[in-house]
């Protein structure tokens, strides 16, 4: 377990440090009371990097090292001049013209308030669970903090640094935030836009179809701090890339392949919002869930557009303004610079210009967008084969997560989380000027170095270039022309909450934080719902198949893909150091979601109800499937390969349980090739570690929330036995059990039924 995860685990387990109080405010002396800035700035947005109002300093949040770095940008000095220790996992920050920096510390559940002049922390404000997005109103009078796990927004009065409200009804896992500006001195007449990170199921749609989900953005009044409504971001019916057949439409694939079936996609992984004029823009990793799987139809790079006057999808000349930024890049001639826009994550606009820049986090690039007079964006990709187009790309560091542009629009600063540096770009020449180190990389040869290198692989769809930590991986090995990577289905190491029509059947992406026991990184869960993989290294098949890459397991020349890639159940561990580092990152580098219930006193009414739920969990036999530190029975108890007799139909048969969640008659119970799916033998029990935060649940996504799990009587009685009375027939017992399920995180004491 690495140092930061151990620190988090001990803090949660012992109840020390953060999380003990719903709110605590450190009073300020009168002389340091924050004041509203004079004169409104333009629209504001959340970002991990920000430029001071005078353009002299760049502030950067460093989530890996729990610090904020300050870079002196005066006259392009570009020198780091300070590191400020803040809370655990600072992800985003906001700067006021009045001389304050506000930092959202996700693990700590706090906002650090920093005096910009002295660089001292002058207040610590407790907010909701896992604060992430953070933005000031244009005149700086209010601060809005988006809490991703308590599903709410904290409102702070910056004059007193006091919490003045909590806004609920903002959807599940809110993350992105942006605030309009009409240019006056009144902050009470603006709109606050908050994105739900993952798309939401559309009632009546077939789960697994290309149009079964939609994006959601909540609109809040800055005057009343009440929800005004929600913006719906619909799927796109034709993204410009065709598939060879359709599993759900029962259109058989052809051999040789004929790519004739148009594919659609829905917006997903909505991390950031930027406002320009009367439009809001949301880059995102759109999902196309229907099979068959192929690298260029699985995910797309959307730039969704909202009309802030109507709070509906932007329309111009009768046409939606949302675009697929990947469309047309396929017509570019092959070159080392040709990259698709893997994992669009953040964006910013140049002031007094219709030009903006999208951060493609997995592809490790910036991409220029341009708006026409109506606000419709383009990346200037070619429209047909033979055209060159004019896509402008600028290389960054590893895993760029945010961009800030100075007031005169001449410099851009890109925060790179994994390489721990900032790329400085001259926007007048569209060239990289320099790179500024914000935090040291781990020492070569250490376990932390292996974790960091594996993290770079996990979050990249293109090259990995951290030579002090591990071998350089060129473009093309992890995916076809930077299209996708592990992160494309597992943002932040969790799940995109999409049910894909895969080779085994409909499969909701499994959150990876529970692959290993957080108390023991050597204790691994069997992989996938049908127990068809037993090593993280088996996902070499996904790199080659789903993402279209050459892969990491090679012949002795280090270049040629090894054609004897082992299929399950033969072992792949030890065949490539980079692939082994990826497994180490998943074992040690992905933390679990933090439950809001960690703040509940065990002696309170809710605390006692959680305790009753824990007793019921054991009493009704949930421990028969969900015990141990990994909260799942489906543990790998052997060194690969397994015994031949244990593998039936490609599954570790002894780890499967039939719990009433498979129905062969469902229209979406089909493999990507049209054959009958796996599932009749049961499924490997998924982990309950943080499951409350990551619905829809079950292999087919049929349980929208964890509450819906108990509606399946066969499932909830699976551990009871045929003739025992069901305590969960009592609604009060059901409610108590649900409260316990929603409290399970890495700090929860597991049921040690033959486990660590």
DSSP 728-748: GGSHHHHHHHHHHHTT-STTS
**Residues in the chain, total:** 756
CA distance 281 to 267: 12
Percent of the chain scoring above 90 in pLDDT = 90
26 vs 418: which has the higher pLDDT? 418
The confidence band for 752, taking pLDDT boundaries of 50, 70 and 90, is: confident
Task: Please say whether the beta carbons of 145 and 127 come within 8 A.
Answer: yes
CA distance 273 to 135: 11
Q: Tell whether 600 is covered by a domain.
A: yes
Q: Which two tokens stand for residue 311?
A: 């709070």
Task: Please say whether the beta carbons of 104 and 133 come within 8 A.
Answer: yes
CA 651 to chain centre: 29
Q: Tell whether 484 is covered by a domain.
A: no
Q: What is the pLDDT of residue 11?
A: 44
CA distance 222 to 370: 29
DSSP H or E stretch at residue 580: helix 577-588
Q: How many CB atoms lie within 10 A of CB 106?
A: 24
CA distance 307 to 191: 12
Q: Which of 459, 596, 701 lies closest to 152, judged by CA?
A: 596
Q: Is 729 exposed, middle or buried (0-12, 13-18, 19+ CB in 10 A)?
A: exposed
Q: What is the pLDDT of residue 568?
A: 75
Domain that holds residue 586: 503-741
Task: Please say whether the beta carbons of 87 and 18 come within 8 A.
Answer: yes
Residue 33 pLDDT greater than 50, yes or no = no
Task: Please say whether the beta carbons of 419 and 480 come within 8 A.
Answer: no
The confidence band for 15, taking pLDDT boundaries of 50, 70 and 90, is: very low
Q: Tell whether 516 is covered by a domain.
A: yes
Q: Tell whether 274 is covered by a domain.
A: no
Q: Tell whether 525 is covered by a domain.
A: yes
Q: Tell whether 11 is covered by a domain.
A: no
Convert the pLDDT of each residue in 221-235 to its tens digit: 999 999 999 999 999
Residue 579 pLDDT greater than 80, yes or no = yes
Convert the pLDDT of each residue in 472-508 to its tens digit: 999 999 999 999 999 999 999 999 999 999 999 999 9
CA distance 194 to 356: 20
Q: Tell whether 716 is covered by a domain.
A: yes
Task: Please say whether the beta carbons of 97 and 41 come within 8 A.
Answer: yes
Q: How many CB atoms lie within 10 A of CB 436?
A: 20
Strand partners, 560: none
Q: Is 134 exposed, middle or buried (0-12, 13-18, 19+ CB in 10 A)?
A: buried
The confidence band for 149, taking pLDDT boundaries of 50, 70 and 90, is: very high
DSSP assignment letter at 654: G
Q: What is the pLDDT of residue 27?
A: 33
Q: Which two tokens stand for residue 622?
A: 């949930």
pLDDT, mean of residues 439-466: 98
pLDDT, mean of residues 426-452: 98
CA distance 655 to 651: 9
Q: Tell whether 344 is covered by a domain.
A: no
Convert the pLDDT of each residue in 377-416 to its tens digit: 999 999 999 998 999 999 999 999 999 999 999 999 999 9
Residue 450 pLDDT greater than 60, yes or no = yes
End-to-end CA distance of the chain: 15
Q: What average pLDDT does the structure give for the chain?
A: 93
Residue 745 pLDDT greater than 80, yes or no = yes
Number of domains in the chain: 1
pLDDT, mean of residues 103-107: 98
Q: What is the pLDDT of residue 569?
A: 78
Handedness of CA 601, 605, 608, 609 (dihedral sign): negative
Q: Which two tokens stand for residue 439?
A: 């935090």
Convert the pLDDT of each residue in 54-91 to its tens digit: 999 999 999 999 999 999 999 999 999 999 999 999 99
Q: What is the pLDDT of residue 41?
A: 85
Contacts of 722 (CB under 8 A, 6+ apart): none
Q: How far is CA 250 from CA 202, 289, 297, 545, 675, in A?
A: 22, 15, 17, 22, 10
CA distance 635 to 531: 10
Note the helical H segments in 62-123: none
Task: Please say whether the beta carbons of 411 and 426 come within 8 A.
Answer: yes
Task: Please say whether the beta carbons of 477 and 539 come within 8 A.
Answer: no
Q: What is the pLDDT of residue 39?
A: 53
Q: Which of 294, 33, 263, 289 lies closest to 140, judged by CA?
A: 33
pLDDT, mean of residues 742-749: 97
Is cis: bond before 285, omega within 30 of 0?
A: no
The confidence band for 722, taking pLDDT boundaries of 50, 70 and 90, is: confident
Q: Which of 230, 359, 242, 233 lies closest to 290, judged by CA?
A: 242
Contacts of 446 (CB under 8 A, 6+ apart): none
The confidence band for 4, taking pLDDT boundaries of 50, 70 and 90, is: low
């Amino acid at each position: 377990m690495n140092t930061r995860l151990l620190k988090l685990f001990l803090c949660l387990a012992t109840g020390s440090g953060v999380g003990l109080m719903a709110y605590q405010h450190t009073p300020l002396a009168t002389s340091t009371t924050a004041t509203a800035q004079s004169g409104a700035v333009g629209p504001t947005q959340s970002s991990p990097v920000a430029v001071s109002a005078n353009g002299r300093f760049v502030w950067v949040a460093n989530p890996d090292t729990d610090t904020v770095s300050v870079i002196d940008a005066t006259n392009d000095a570009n020198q780091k001049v300070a590191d400020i220790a803040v809370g655990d996992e600072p992800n985003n920050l906001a700067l006021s013209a009045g001389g304050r920096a506000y930092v959202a510390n996700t693990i700590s559940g706090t906002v650090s308030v920093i005096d910009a002049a002295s660089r001292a922390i002058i207040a610590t404000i407790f907010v909701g669970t896992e604060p992430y997005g953070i933005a000031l109103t244009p005149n700086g009078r209010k601060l809005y903090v988006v809490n991703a796990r308590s599903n709410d927004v904290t409102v702070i009065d910056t004059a007193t640094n006091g919490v003045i409200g909590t806004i609920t009804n903002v959807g599940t896992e809110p993350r992105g935030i942006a605030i309009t500006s009409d240019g006056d001195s009144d902050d009470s007449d603006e709109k606050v836009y908050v994105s739900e990170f993952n798309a939401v199921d559309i009632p009546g749609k077939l789960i697994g179809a290309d149009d079964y989900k939609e994006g959601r953005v909540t609109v809040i009044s800055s005057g009343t701090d009440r929800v005004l409504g929600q913006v719906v971001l619909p799927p796109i019916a034709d993204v410009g890339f065709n598939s060879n057949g359709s599993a759900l439409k029962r259109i058989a694939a052809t051999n040789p392949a004929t790519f004739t079936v148009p594919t659609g996609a829905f917006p997903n992984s909505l991390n950031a919002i930027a406002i320009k004029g009367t439009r809001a823009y949301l880059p995102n990793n759109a999902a196309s869930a229907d099979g068959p799987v192929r690298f260029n139809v699985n995910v797309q790079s959307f730039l969704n557009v909202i009309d802030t006057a109507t709070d509906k999808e932007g329309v111009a000349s009768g046409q939606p303004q949302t675009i697929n930024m990947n469309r047309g890049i396929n017509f570019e001639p092959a070159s080392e610079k040709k990259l698709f826009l893997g994992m669009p994550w953040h964006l910013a606009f140049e002031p007094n210009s219709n030009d903006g820049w999208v951060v493609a986090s997995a592809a490790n690039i910036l991409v220029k967008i341009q708006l026409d007079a109506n606000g419709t964006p383009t990346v200037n990709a070619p429209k047909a084969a033979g055209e060159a187009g004019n896509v402008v790309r600028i290389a960054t560091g590893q895993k760029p997560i945010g961009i800030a542009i100075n007031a005169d629009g001449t410099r851009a600063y890109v925060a790179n989380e994994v390489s721990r540096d900032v790329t400085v770009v001259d926007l007048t020449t569209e060239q990289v000027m320099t790179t500024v180190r914000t935090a040291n990389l781990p020492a070569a040869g250490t376990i932390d170095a292996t974790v960091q290198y594996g993290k770079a692989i996990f979050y990249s769809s293109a090259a990995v270039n951290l030579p002090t930590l591990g071998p350089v991986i060129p473009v093309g090995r992890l995916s076809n022309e930077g299209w996708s990577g592990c992160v494309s289905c597992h943002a932040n190491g969790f799940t995109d909450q999409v049910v894909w029509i895969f080779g085994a059947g409909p499969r909701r992406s499994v959150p990876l934080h529970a692959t290993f026991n957080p108390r023991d990184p050597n204790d691994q869960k069997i992989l996938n719902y049908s127990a068809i993989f037993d090593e993280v290294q088996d996902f070499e098949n996904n790199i080659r198949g789903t993402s279209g890459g050459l892969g990491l397991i090679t012949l002795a020349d280090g270049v040629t893909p090894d054609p004897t890639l082992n299929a399950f159940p033969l072992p792949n561990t030890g065949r490539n150091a980079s692939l082994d580092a990826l497994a180490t990152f998943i074992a040690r580098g992905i933390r679990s979601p933090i439950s809001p219930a960690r703040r509940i006193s065990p002696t309170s009414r809710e605390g006692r109800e959680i305790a009753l739920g824990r007793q019921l969990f054991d009493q009704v036999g949930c421990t028969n499937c969900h015990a141990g530190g990994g909260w799942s029975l489906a543990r790998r108890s052997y060194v690969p390969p397994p015994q031949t007799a244990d593998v039936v139909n490609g599954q570790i048969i002894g780890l499967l349980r039939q719990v009433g969640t498979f129905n062969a008659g469902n229209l979406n119970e089909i493999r990507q090739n049209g054959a009958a799916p796996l599932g009749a033998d049961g499924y490997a029990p998924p982990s309950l570690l943080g499951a409350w935060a990551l619905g829809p649940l079950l292999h087919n996504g049929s349980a929208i929330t964890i509450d819906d799990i108990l509606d399946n009587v066969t499932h909830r009685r699976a551990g009871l036995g045929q003739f025992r009375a069901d305590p969960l027939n009592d609604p009060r017992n059901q409610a108590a059990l649900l409260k316990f399920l929603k409290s399970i995180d890495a700090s929860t004491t597991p049921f040690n039924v033959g486990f660590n």
